[in-house]
Amino acid sequence: MSGFPSCPLPLEEYPTITMAHGGGGAIMRRLIERMFFAAFDRGELAGGPDAAVLALAGGELALTTDAFVVSPRFFPGGDIGSLSVHGTVNDLAMVGAEPIALAVAFVLEEGLPTQELWSIVSSMAAAAEECGVRIVTGDTKVVERGHGDGVFVATTGVGRVVSRWPVHPERIRPGDVVLVSGDVGRHGMAVLVARGNLGIASDLESDSAAVHPAALALLREGIEVRAMRDPTRGGLASALNELAAAARVGFEIRETDVPVDPRTAAIAELAGLDPLYSACEGRFLAVVPQEQSERALAVLRQHPVSAGAALIGTATADAPRVVVRTAFGTRRLLPLLSGEQLPRIC
């Protein structure tokens, strides 16, 4: 929120969000103009139509959408606003696209403190600016108290595909190697601690960040990236299972090579959870040809967001399942869990 003035709406008048803020009248208009335009306006929002018009050079367009319902809305290392921008930009990066524009829809609950909405909106604007992406259109709805949960944010990203080949799991071949851009599981454990149910304190912060500078650098440097995936809900284990299923390959991962912050590991152990299933929001997996792995790691390590990159395993001709070789040399299966360990993590 640094660099943002205090809430531009007079808080005495509307200290909380009311049904009228979603009603399509003058009160909604004022919320949109004074708050959203103040935070996001780069010329496209003003003037009124409900759709933004963007000039485009042609080529391939990437499109992604995500709803964010994370609880709590503020956590160490981020909030629902910055998270929504990072998550959306990262989904674009995973298909080799650089972000062009974001659209954002809010579902607000009557009674939400107006200042809190401003904090979230400011945080989105700051994250978008850092990512070099503009928020060009949006929508606001308000639901009655008890029919929502403060703020839900749905963000949609449009990106320009810069990769010269399709970045898609179908291109993965046995023998390719799996890189991870940094330590895994932070976001899930940071949010868990923020919920306060564990009764512990930790200075662990979410890894929430935009990974496109690192992901697109791989492509720009000529690394023939087969596929990328950001391990959000369900963590590293679920992302690998999804890649395995889509690519029809197996993965063998060396547990000791997977970077896990000691604090992440400690919280997970306390909570009886596996950090390999804990969500990341600023990490990605890249599957690359074995012979390019050293160069790919060197590229990743040049970027702050992926300074802790590591090679963690190999694609195999095995059945499409994920196997972990443990520190003791034994092998265990890393299946797709049925549900998830933590609800509302993003």
**Using CB under 8 A, which residues numbered 241 to 270 contact a copy of itself?**
242-243, 245-246
* From 3, 5, 43, 49, residue interacting with a copy of itself (rule: CB under 8 A): 49
Q: Which of 51, 53, 87, 56 is nearest to 69 (CA)?
A: 87
Using the rule CB under 8 A, which residue among 238, 292, 293, 316 binds a copy of itself?
Answer: 238
For a copy of itself, which residue of 142, 184, 236, 288 counts as binding (CB under 8 A)?
A: 142
| Cα(274)–Cα(264) distance, integer angstroms | 10
Of the candidate spans 49-57, 116-124, 264-272, 324-332, the one that interacts with a copy of itself by CB under 8 A turns out to be: 49-57
Residue with Cβ nearer a copy of itself (75 or 152): 152
User: What's the chain's length in residues?
Assistant: 346
Stretch binding a copy of itself (CB under 8 A), from 52-60, 208-216, 284-292, 314-322 = 52-60
Interface residue with a copy of itself among 19, 217, 266, 270 (CB under 8 A) is 19
Nearest to a copy of itself of 243, 300 (CB atom) = 243
Closer to a copy of itself at the Cβ: 238 or 314?
238
Would strands 285-288 and 177-180 be described as parallel, antiparallel, or unpaired?
A: antiparallel
Q: Assess 61 for contact with a copy of itself (CB under 8 A).
A: yes
Report the amino acid identity of residue 257: D
Residue 197 in contact with a copy of itself, rule: CB under 8 A: no
Q: In the set 6, 147, 196, 302, which binds a copy of itself (CB under 8 A)?
A: 147
**Secondary structure of residue 161 in the 3-state scheme:** strand
Residue closest to 189 by CA, chosen among 172, 200, 199, 204: 204
Residue 271 CB, shortest distance to a copy of itself, in Å, is 16
What binding mask, one character per residue, do residues 100-129 give for a copy of itself by CB under 8 A, x or -? Answer: -x-xxxxx----------------------
Nearest to 233 by CA among 81, 116, 67, 110: 67
Residue 82 CB partners (closer than 8 Å, separation 6+): 123, 124, 126, 127, 208
* Element containing residue 270 per DSSP (H, E): helix 262-271
Residues 306-345 that bind a copy of itself (CB under 8 A): 336-340, 343-344
Look at residues 267, 105, 274, 278 and name the one whose alpha carbon lies nearest to residue 199.
267
Q: Match 């990262």 to its residue by tokens.
A: 90
Residue from 34, 42, 145, 168 binding a copy of itself (CB under 8 A): 168
Of the residues 36, 40, 68, 118, which one makes contact with a copy of itself according to CB under 8 A: 68
Residue 182 touching a copy of itself (CB under 8 A): no
Choose, by CB under 8 A, the member of 41, 129, 130, 149 that binds a copy of itself: 149
* Three-state secondary structure call for residue 139: strand
87 to 45, 124, 187, 230, 290: CA distances (angstroms): 22, 11, 12, 9, 28
Query: Which value, in Å, is the radius of gyration of the alpha carbons in the chain?
Result: 21
With respect to a copy of itself, which residue has the nearer C-beta, 29 or 331? 29
Q: In the numeric block, which tokens belong to residue 293?
A: 């792995």
Q: Does residue 76 contact residue 263 with C-beta atoms inside 8 Å?
A: no
Question: Applying CB under 8 A, does 162 fall inside the site for a copy of itself?
Answer: no
**The one among 75, 152, 251, 284 contacting a copy of itself by CB under 8 A:** 152
Stretch that binds a copy of itself, among 117-125, 155-163, 253-261, 324-332 (CB under 8 A): 155-163
Provide the minimum distance between the beta carbon of 126 and a copy of itself in the complex, in angstroms, as a whole number. 20
Q: How far is CA 97 from CA 44, 166, 213, 250, 257, in A?
A: 22, 10, 11, 26, 29
- Which of 12, 55, 164, 203 binds a copy of itself (CB under 8 A)? It is 55
